[in-house]
Amino acid sequence: QVQLLQSGGGLVQAGGSLNLSCVFSGSISRVGTVAWYRQAPGKEREQVARVTSGGTTDYYGSAEGRFTISRDNTKNTLHLQMNNLKPEDTAIYYCYARITAPMRGTNDYWGQGTQVTVSS
């Protein structure tokens, strides 16, 4: 069974940095596009950044210039380095992966979510 396990996050002051990690485990044939999303209280889940299987990265909204997404295909891991954090970055962050698994085909998988809180 494929699972995404997140770590990192926590409480930080404005201007600080945090790093989020996500490890993909289980029987995996291929990992396609991976991404980070976040959901703030009372708001819809939004995409923060993504990286394709070919290594192309895209950033959305205020993440551009402050966040860096990276993937390690040999270790099946995904990271999000967040710098110059702002109170409006406060949210639950989720990792996402499009994974092909033996006998299961290709499906979307999500991590369990990690709270990031930025104090002013």
Which pLDDT score, from 0 to 100, does residue 70 have? 97
- Structure token digits, residue 27: 């029987």
User: What are the DSSP E strand ranges found in the chain?
Assistant: 3-8, 10-13, 18-25, 30-39, 46-51, 57-59, 67-72, 77-82, 91-101, 105-110, 114-119
pLDDT per residue as tens digits for the range 59-89: 999 999 999 999 999 999 999 999 999 999 9
Task: Round to whole Å and give the CA distance between 67 and 63.
Answer: 5
pLDDT per residue as tens digits for the range 9-43: 999 999 999 999 999 999 999 999 999 999 999 99
Percent of the chain clearing pLDDT 90 (strictly above):
99
Of 65, 94, 70, nearest to 80 (Cα)? Answer: 70
On average, the pLDDT of the chain sits at 97
User: Hey, which residues does 95 pair with through a beta bridge?
Assistant: 36
Task: Round to whole Å and give the CA distance between 18 and 104.
Answer: 34
Beta carbons within 10 angstroms of residue 17's beta carbon: 11
